[in-house]
Structure 1
Amino acid sequence: MRTDAVTPLDPTTASQLRASGYTYFEVGATRGEMPSGYHHQRRETAIGTGHDRFVQCARAIMTWQVQLRAGIAVATTDATVVEGTVARLAIGVGPVRIHAPARVVYVVDEPRHAGFAYGTLPGHPELGEELFAVEHRDDDTVVFGVAAFSRSGSRLTTVAGPLGPLAQKFVAGRYLRGMASLPQP
């Protein structure tokens, strides 16, 4: 799986993921107060100013550039995110590659706020949901943010213990830096 471009998800895997249920009950909870019993993360960074920057960043989010720019491979049913899109994300190299199936829970498409959240499916090492969004604030600042709630969903992440949340914090930092490094329009 390439990490520099989105690749199509093979039809068999896509069908299996579409038929799978989420691995957690609180679907959509990144819209507001996140549920207890999970590790929570909310991070954001200013990435520029103006309407053109907002539009550029919204387009990048909706075409998986957040993940790709963080070094995560994306195989998906839709190169442009829509509600219900399924994807298999992957990080790592060769036999140390971790696959993370997910489905888009909701899309935000407002004049000054855009993004999407995906939730974990069976086979994902974590249970939970993650939101990627950009906001064009009243002071003209464009802010990119990530919000997530998660807990261990596999033996690997259970054994990793406190390293799991640290790894997620590290990857969230890569998301933020990747979006901040988008060349200005």
Structure 2
Amino acid sequence: MTYPPEGFVPAESRARIGHGDQRFETAVMQTLTWQIQERSGMGVRVEDTPEDDEVRYNPVTFDEQGVPIAPASIGTPRVEKTTPDGTPLITAGTTATLTMHAFGQTVQAPVRVVAIIDERDRKGFAYGTLDGHPLSGEESFVVERTPDGSVWLQVRQFSQPASRKWRFVAPLLRRQQRVMAEKYLAALRGD
């Protein structure tokens, strides 16, 4: 991330998690059902999901060469609501509380999904932190299929401690973020 908001620290992790269309589709479904977080040792409690009839913004979509193929619109999201087995997919506006154990403490981290990435070869989501989270910022989880068929997971974030209490332990928070980023990548690599 080249230009994070002022005062926020960026971080990015990326790993190859497989190859081929089936691996891509499986990784996308795992990403859009909170499995990255769950396989990383977090608890996930979905608090609220937007109503089906809620109006949503659909951004401009682009083809492989970056040429716009569909204009931005207001309407229902293009992402399916459930997996083939009926598991609900993450949608923009979903709020959840992530629970993790770090440094002998149980930490509750409320988040809201702020974006769904739904391109031909890039799919995933981003969430922003809510009051009560130790950090203020955003984090994205994007599965990408490259022209050679390789499948990659990219985790990007920018953050800063959410309050004075958390500023005192900022180095520990940064360390924990690095640890979690590696766990996220390992979750889809199958480590």
Class of the TM-score when normalised by the shorter of the 2 chains: 0.7 to 0.9
Deviation at 1:37, TM superposition (A): 1.6
Identity %: 36
2 CA distance for matches of 1:82 and 1:178?
A: 21
Residue 15 of structure 2 is aligned to residue 45 of structure 1: yes
Q: 2:129 pairs with 111, 114, 120, which one?
A: 120
Structure 1 unaligned runs (5+)? 1-29
Deviation at 1:96, TM superposition (A): 2.1
Q: Report the counterpart of residue 118 of structure 2 in structure 1.
A: 109
Task: Say if 1:74 and 1:90, in contact at 8 Å, map to a contact too.
Answer: yes
Q: 2:177 pairs with 168, 174, 178, which one?
A: 168
Deviation at 1:158, TM superposition (A): 1.2
What are the equivalent positions in structure 2 for 1:17-166 lying under 5 Å apart? Answer: 33-76=3-46, 77-78=48-49, 79-92=88-101, 96-166=105-175
Task: Say if 1:42 and 1:147, in contact at 8 Å, map to a contact too.
Answer: yes
TM-score, normalised via structure 1 length:
0.77
Deviations 1:71-120, CA, capped at 9 Å, x for gaps: 01000035420000000111028x82100111000001122110000001
2 CA distance for matches of 1:48 and 1:92?
A: 29
Q: 2:187 pairs with 146, 156, 178, which one?
A: 178
Deviation at 1:139, TM superposition (A): 1.3
Task: Say if 1:39 and 1:165, in contact at 8 Å, map to a contact too.
Answer: no
Greater strand share, 1 or 2? 2
1 CA distance for matches of 2:90 and 2:33?
A: 6
Deviation at 1:155, TM superposition (A): 4.1
1 CA distance for matches of 2:185 and 2:127?
A: 17
* Structure of higher CA gyration radius: 2
Deviations 1:109-167, CA, capped at 9 Å, x for gaps: 12211000000111111000000010000111000010000000134421212121111
2 CA distance for matches of 1:90 and 1:155?
A: 21
Structure 2 unaligned runs (5+)? 50-87
Task: Say if 1:117 and 1:130, in contact at 8 Å, map to a contact too.
Answer: yes
2 CA distance for matches of 1:86 and 1:50?
A: 32
- Structure 2 counterpart of 1:152, which letter? P
Divergent runs of 4+, >6 A: none
- Structure 2 counterpart of 1:61, which letter? T
Deviation at 1:33, TM superposition (A): 4.1
TM-score, normalised via structure 2 length:
0.74
- Structure 1 counterpart of 2:148, which letter? D
2 CA distance for matches of 1:70 and 1:108?
A: 21
2 CA distance for matches of 1:156 and 1:54?
A: 41
Taking structure 1 as reference, are residues 156 and 180 closer, same or farther at Cα in structure 2, changes over 3 Å only? farther
2:4 match: secondary structure: coil
Task: Say if 1:103 and 1:121, in contact at 8 Å, map to a contact too.
Answer: yes
User: How many pairs align?
Assistant: 151
